Structure 1
């Protein structure tokens, strides 16, 4: 029984890491004016974040239709996959899971199970890596899917944003709240857990960073940790140095977040993706 794993480009796995794990990544769309770009294919992250403050109208994002998913599933079946586990960005935040489910129903060559990661960025990516590791160990799709909810419960994304403006543009906060936030120099702090975004607000950039450090420290021993940023590499490197002592053995990924997420949170953001150790 051969099981393959599929995810989408919001997972923030590097192409090399996804390829080495045997994970297929389906790109979502970034819409800039009247043009649409495939995330990670037609538009680099560096270029996107350099131009983000000047985009008018603001960028939007969209899931591909069912056909790219179905074609991916059928291609994996043609390569010998009997079952496919397709893991995607939180269904509460995106339509990707719904589109993947529609494509799964149309797939003839392999049985496809769609999993809502209830996460974003490497919260999804870490889950896809776990699924790929279990598949490589010979687990069935049913066994893999049964193992994932425990990791979902232990996964958090903490983010310190530089402004409320991009949340306003994406409809997450009102123009009034964003305007007051700008006037008062309020910095949003977000936590993503089990498909829900919770928010906190502090007054300075340094307080926002300290807040996500405190949230990370409260998670106890970790099995996975990564540092995330939206066009703020130097600050992300400084944050990495601050969290290194909390990390499990091995390299800590430092990841510039996909534009599919950055479009909604804005430039100069910092984040931490973590999975609490089991037990």
Structure 2
């Protein structure tokens, strides 16, 4: 029995982890007025974030086609996979998961189970990594899926954004709310768990960072943690330093730049954590 793991480019896992565990990554699309680009393949993250504030027409994003997923599944079948688990960004945020479901249902001669972790970025990525480790260890499909459901309920992604502008431009919040936020210099703080997104606000950047640290502390003991940012690696490293007293694992945690598929909606300058609560 060979179980292989499939995900999409929003998972934000380091390349060495993807390679080590043989994870298949299906890229989403970033759409500009001059054409569409495969996320992580045809446009770099640095290039995207450097240009993002200057785009007159906001970039949009789109899911891979059903055929793209089907070809990825078929390739794994041809290479000897007997079962596949396909894990993707929350269906409450993107259509990617639903496309994967349709592709999985159309497959013949192989079992493809789709899993919605209800999260984004490394909130999905850490669950993908856990699935790949369990598959490599010889766990059964049923054992892996049970563990993934447990992990998903305990996984939280929370980040402080630099501005409301990009959420408004992408249609994620109303122009009225964005206008009030800019007037008051509000710094939005987003939190996601189990498919639910909540937005709170801090009056200053320092207040937003304090909010992140208080949220991390409120989770109690942590099983796993990572840092995420949008073109703000120095701010992420400062956040790592500030969190060391309450979470020893942060010293060795990933710090990953968030995919443009998500970054186009939240803008540059965001920093945050992905944390899995201990049981």
Task: Report the TM range for the smaller structure's normalisation.
Answer: over 0.9
| 1-structure distance, mates of 2:34, 2:70 | 26
Q: Which residue of 2 aligns with 1:89?
A: 89
Unaligned runs of 5+ in 2: none
Matched, 1:26 2:26: yes
| 2-structure distance, mates of 1:239, 1:264 | 22
Count of residues in Structure 1 that have an aligned counterpart in Structure 2? 278
- Report if the CA contact (8 A) 1:3-1:141 is conserved: yes
CA distances 1:225-271 after superposition (whole Å, capped 9, x unpaired): 11111111111111111123404387211111110110000111111
- Report if the CA contact (8 A) 1:222-1:247 is conserved: no
CA distances 1:139-190 after superposition (whole Å, capped 9, x unpaired): 1222211221111111000110011111111211111111111111011011
Unaligned runs of 5+ in 1: none
The runs of at least 4 consecutive aligned structure 1 residues that moved more than 2 Å come to 247-250
Change in Cα spacing, 1:59 to 1:249, as seen in structure 2 (3 Å) is closer
Q: Which residue of 2 aligns with 1:264?
A: 265
RMSD: 1.2
| 1-structure distance, mates of 2:159, 2:206 | 13
- Report if the CA contact (8 A) 1:78-1:109 is conserved: no
Residues 46-65 of structure 1: pairs in structure 2 closer than 5 A: 46-65=46-65
Normalized against structure 1, the TM-score is what? Answer: 0.97
Matched, 1:273 2:265: no
| 2-structure distance, mates of 1:10, 1:107 | 23
Normalized against structure 2, the TM-score is what? Answer: 0.97
Change in Cα spacing, 1:258 to 1:216, as seen in structure 2 (3 Å) is same
- Report if the CA contact (8 A) 2:225-2:250 is conserved: no
Residues 1-279 of structure 1: pairs in structure 2 closer than 5 A: 1-245=1-245, 246-248=247-249, 251-278=252-279
CA distances 1:103-123 after superposition (whole Å, capped 9, x unpaired): 112222421000001000001
